[in-house]
Each structure stands twice: as C-alpha cells, then as structure tokens.
Chain A
Amino acid sequence: MKADNEYEVLQKWRDGDQDAFGELFAQNATRLYNFAYRLTGQRENARDIVQTAALKAFARGCPTGEDTVFYAWMRRVVLNLFLDSERTKKRAHRPSLLQGVDWQDVEFAVAAEVQPASPRTQMDEDQRMQAIWRALDNLADEYRTVVVLRDIEGLSYEEIASHLSIPLETVRTRLRRGRQRLRDVLQPLVSDES
C-alpha cells in the first residue's frame, strides 16, 4: 500500500469506517505473517498470533498518531503477543521448524558445499533457504528475536531496545552472539572458501 493511500485509509478508520481496518490488514497480511513466522518458526503459531493480533488491534481501535504506520503498529502487537506466548511456554516443547523436511538431504547439501570441487550452483536454492531457516530456528529465542528485528525487519538498536524493553548494550550483545552462532552454523554458505 502506498504511504499516502495508507494515510487516507487510516483516516477513514479513525473517522469511524470500521471496514478500513480490513483493507489495511489485507494489504499488510503477508508481511505480518512472515514476521510472525520468522519469530515463531511455526506456521500454525504464526497464523494464530497474526489473527489474534489483528482482532486485538481492531478492538483497540485506530491509533491516534498522525504519523502511524499500520505495519509498524501491527508488528509491535504481533511481537508483544509472541513475547507473551514465549513467557508462558517453553520453546523446548515446540516441534521442529520444518516438520516433514528430510534433514539428511539438507545436511548433505550443506556439507557438499564445503567441498571445493562442488560448485555453489549445484546447491538447490530451497535447500539453502532451509539451512538458513534451520539455523535461525535453532537459535535461542532471545538471540533469534533480535536477529529477526535487526537483519530481517531492519529496526535500529534503539527501536529493538524499546520494543523488547532491554538496554541498548543488551541488544548489541545478543545480536553479536546470535550472528556469531549463525555464522558458525552457516559457515559453508558465508565462507569464500566454499
């Protein structure tokens, strides 16, 4: 949705046109779902969180700020729901990120790329993405959340600190550790020697 159009639709919602919310949500559903999916690593959880977030936001009503960006506003609702849900359940109990994927194949594909004789083009793009997903999924929640917010959502350290209610230095530390672990796990994908 173009920014000026979004402003107009937000204004409609603010003026009492409740259908405007549906229009805004439909326009932003893909981004919101993918944000939730990257946080949770589970399609069902992501779907539930986005759906709950949408209804919660709808019940709360249109934010009053003139400079409101619908996606950023909704993203925060999604993030808060995710943080709430993680507080009440242990991540260890949830099933793997990509159920049904034959990980032996993925391991083979990643391992194969370490071999100098194996050109990168032979690695199926889907498998590369699965390897990245798996590495992200295996990060501890506290690291994965800041990595998603910074490297995928593009938030600043200050915004992340504000969203998560943690000090700036903690953002920096968690991001460093998260990236270090990802770099170690994904060495075949990031190293020039591959």
Chain B
Amino acid sequence: MDKSCCFHDLLSASLDGELSPSEQVQLDEHLLVCESCRKALDEYRKLTSLLGGIPDASVPNGLVENVLKETTQTLQANKEVSTLIPKSRFAGARWMRWSAAVAAVFLLVVLWNGLPGLNDGNVTPLLTSIVAIAEEEWAALDMVFSFDPSRISVKSVESALADSGFLMVSNIGSNEIRVSMASSEAFGPDGGVTVLDLRIMPMSSSDGKSSFLRLETARAYRLDGRPASVTLDQISAPLPEQSDGNGCSSA
C-alpha cells in the first residue's frame, strides 16, 4: 500500500463527500491512474461498512428499571420536600432519624420555649433554624419559603454552612424568602444539620410557639447535578434579650 501517495490523505474525506469540489475532481482524476489508491478507497468503504454493522449489545439487566426507579424516587422526594414542614414536629419516623446532637438542641429549645413568662406580655424575637436531613451527598439547595406578613416579619437569613464552604444568596420579599446555597464540595449524608438561621419577629405574643414558615419548593442537587434526596425541617427558639439594634435579639 502506497501511503506516501499525496492523494491518500483525501480518501477518507471523499468517502463522506467532505472534499472541496476541486479536491474531488483532482482525486477522481488520480484514481483513474492509481491502483493503490483505488484499492485503499475500497478498503475504507469496507471498513466503514464493518463499523456500521457492529451489532447492538443487549442493555444490562436493571439499567432501565434503575433509571425509572430513581426518577420515580426523585418525583416522590420532590413531593415530600414540598411538604416538609410537619404538622407535628414530634410525629413520624423522621424525628427518629435525627442525630442525638440535634435532638438535644431541640430538647433544649422546647424547655426554653416552655419557660414560664418568657413569651408573656412582650413579643419575643425568634431564631428559626432550617435543618436538612440527607440520606445521600448533596452540594446545592434551592428553597422558597412563604410567610404571612400579618403574623411575622423576617429580619435576616444567614447561612449556617458558611464554614463548610457553602455560598448563599437570599432574598427576603414581602411574603416569601428565596434562598440558594451551593458548595463545590459534596456535603452529607447527615442525620440532621442546620443549614439556615432566620431571625423572625412575630407580630403578637400569641405566635410564640407557632411554626411560621411554609416551604413552597425545595430542590437539592448532587455535585454532578443529579437530584439529591434531602428532607428539611424547622425549629424555633426565642432569642435572648440582648438588643441588636434591629429590633431582634442576638442568639
């Protein structure tokens, strides 16, 4: 085979009709006199025919089923995550999955919240924490909460994962809060970790033990962009009485 023939490099593109008209004319003229190139062109045709005739391998068992299962689970997780604020914080198996540390904090909050006189008379600002419970790694979280502006005002939203490399963007609207947070490193799985701290001012003292935020949407993602299953919950505690100048006490 004479690969040194200067026309040899045109053979591959000529198979695909990708030569310029002038190149094609030159090659056609050359093929009339060059047996080596004619033979090579014929071999390229056979080669492409062979490649095009490679039979399909069968799909591995479970591939389609796994994808269908995971997409169904993602749908289910999205439904779950949109109703994340439980009617009773103490009900259900989710509570049992919380880490001992979070449970201890919660207990402290309940005790604190139950101290006589703390919420009597005066309106007490609250620190509300959003807790994420993840059974798998995640790296980004988008959340939208709504609230009733006649019952509360939201003073601030802070990331509790800044030390873990999470960047956060938040916007407090008249009746909703939008928060996006993301990290370049995967986080979790975790039995319960605080991701957000919000300072909330109830409009009346009677709201002192209520849940104020309603989760409208939430999406969690892994590093590769695939959806992650993350459950969110909220806990609230009255803030100590040190004034921070914004009408809220600091924790």
Per-position binary interface string of chain A over residues 48-82, scored 1 when its CB falls under 8 Å from any chain B CB and 0 otherwise: 00111011101110000000000000000000000
Closest Cβ of chain B to A22, distance in Å, is 5
Q: Which of A168-194 contact B (CB under 8 A)?
A: 172, 175-176, 179-180, 182-183, 186-187, 189-192
Asked if B47 and A182 make an inter-chain contact with CB atoms under 8 angstroms apart, the answer reads yes
Q: In the complex, are the beta carbons of A22 and B63 less than 8 A apart?
A: no
Task: List, sorted by A's number, 8 A–B pairs whose CB atoms are closer than 8 Å.
Answer: A25-B64, A52-B224, A152-B51, A172-B13, A172-B18, A175-B12, A186-B47, A192-B42
17 further A-B contacts with Cβ under 8 Å, apart from A29-B64, A54-B67, A183-B43, are A22-B72, A31-B56, A33-B63, A34-B57, A47-B60, A56-B226, A59-B227, A132-B51, A133-B54, A147-B51, A152-B51, A175-B16, A176-B13, A179-B48, A182-B47, A183-B47, A190-B46
Chain A residues engaging chain B, CB cutoff 8 angstroms: 18, 21-22, 25-26, 29-31, 33-34, 37-38, 43, 47, 50-52, 54-56, 58-60, 129, 132-133, 136, 147, 150-152, 157, 172, 175-176, 179-180, 182-183, 186-187, 189-192
Secondary structure class of chain A's binding surface, majority of residues? helix
Shortest Cβ gap from A82 to chain B (Å): 13
B71 and A55 contact, CB distance less than 8 A: yes
Complex Cα–Cα for A176 and B9 (A): 7
Q: Which of A29, A59, A172 contacts B59 (CB 8 A)?
A: A29
Task: Answer whether residue B74 sits at the interface, using C-beta atoms and an 8 A cutoff.
Answer: yes
B221 to chain A, nearest CB (A): 7
Contacts of B11 in A (CB 8 A): 176
**Is there contact, CB below 8 Å, between B225 and A56?**
yes
Cβ A51 vs Cβ B63 within 8 A: yes
Specify which chain B residues have a CB less than 8 angstroms from the CB of A47 in the assembled complex: 60, 63
Name B's interface SS.
helix
Using A29-B64, A50-B63, A179-B44 as known contacts, say yes or no to A186 and B54 having CB atoms under 8 A apart: no
Q: Which chain B residue lies CB-closest to A18?
A: B75
- Could you mark each residue 53-93 of chain B with 1 if its beta carbon is under 8 Å from any beta carbon of chain A, else 0? 01111111001101110111011000000000000000000
Contacts of B18-55 to chain A: CB distance below 8 A:
18, 39-40, 42-44, 46-48, 50-52, 54-55
Contact B50 A132 (CB under 8 A): yes
Measured between alpha carbons, how far is A191 from B221 in the docked complex, in Å?
Answer: 53
Contact call A58/B71, Cβ cutoff below 8 A: yes
CB-CB nearest in chain A for B3:
A180
CB distance from A15 to the nearest CB of B (A): 15
Task: Provide the residues of chain B in CB contact with A179, threshold 8 Å.
Answer: 12, 44, 47-48
B75 touching A190, Cβ below 8 Å: no
Query: Which residues of B are found within 8 Å of A151, using beta-carbon distances?
Result: 47-48, 51-52
In the complex the two chains form, what is the Cα distance from A183 to B67 in whole Å?
A: 38
A22-B68 in contact (CB<8A):
yes
Once the chains bind, are B54 and A55 in contact (CB under 8 Å)? no
**B123 CB to nearest A CB, Å:** 42
- Determine whether the beta carbon of B225 is less than 8 Å from that of A152: no
The reply to whether A191 and B43 contact each other, CB–CB distance below 8 Å, is yes
B223 CB to closest chain A CB, in angstroms?
12
Contact A59 B74 (CB under 8 A): yes
The interface residues of chain A lying within 8 Å CB-to-CB of B40 are 183
